[in-house]
Amino acid sequence: MSSPSSKLPNLTTKTEEFISAVEKEADTPLYELTPEEAREFLIHLQEKTARVIDAEVFDRNIFTENAGNIEIRVVRPKNSKDKTLPVILYIHGGGWIMGGPRTHDLLVRQLANCTESVVIFPDYALSPEAKYPVALEQIYGVLTYIYENPSEFNIDENRIVIAGDSAGGNMATVTAMKAKKQNGPKILFQALFYPVTNADMDTTSYEDFADGPWLTRKAMEWFWDAYAPDKKDRDCSYVSPLKASEEELKDMPPTLIITDENDVLRDEGEAYARKLDFCGVDVLSVRLNGTHHDFMMLNALSETTPAKGAMMMACDVIKRVLYK
């Protein structure tokens, strides 16, 4: 790990090695790539360090009344086909521009097996082709569909957890807000991994880690411009959930928020945890030191101590909720 001083970033040795390798390979900043190039970059990065965990995986196309046809991936624990299991609706990150079943394969297989749950993974429409609120409407459509059609997936519709990383954490918690407001499916718990919660980009962590490691301020500006180009939308609680009112946040599901030390999004994730707590929500907020944004998703970091510790904690908390 970097020497214990005020120097930033403070990364474990294995994480430093990962960043150095990426910097050598990627000679163009992410935000200067086209969306298609950025997607291929992340897929390539993940697949060259892929690790497969046994699970039952199949893809489906479902039709939702309000959002039309949506592709979903269903991931069940191995040897669970005949069991009715609880469900985790998992919303992937990638700055709304990148990500999908190929980039998050290891993470969702880990969740399915370690929590003994079925993971439903919406392959929502990406930005900039689809802008706010298209992806949100698709995700809410998937939530409603699985709640109304549990027998299609052999799931218990009364045991639903929602989870997501980064931009997916943003849309996961907004989906929980929407379900509460509309008296929709009851969500027992939300697990948010280094979530985006505020479009203002004015925190200390944005200053400290503007140039990374891994995620930069300019990349976040690119993501926001793709997802919510109309800046008036960014003050909406369904885009910046940190700006939600007390009325909107009270009675939200109990929450786990995992942040990381060296991340532009660190402070807003922790601020959201404090605001939920202020509104009476049970919150567990944990920061993992020595690592950076996306550490739970990146295959190359999956065997690092922060990633393993965060995954064990998330799985333990979720399983206790679903099997109490």
Q: Which residues are catalytic?
A: 166, 263, 293
245, 273 Cβ separation under 8 angstroms? no
The string of DSSP codes covering 185-212 is SPP-EEEEES----S---SHHHHHTTT-
Q: Which residues partner with 74 through β-bridges?
A: 58, 120
In the structure encoding, which two tokens stand for residue 257, read together? 């928020």
The string of DSSP codes covering 210-235 is TT-SSS-HHHHHHHHHHH--SGGGGG
CA–CA dist 206, 266 (Å, integer):
8
CA–CA dist 140, 137 (Å, integer):
5
196, 265 Cβ separation under 8 angstroms? yes
Helix or strand run (H / E) with residue 114: helix 105-115
- Measured from the Cβ of residue 54, the count of other Cβ atoms closer than 10 Å reads 10
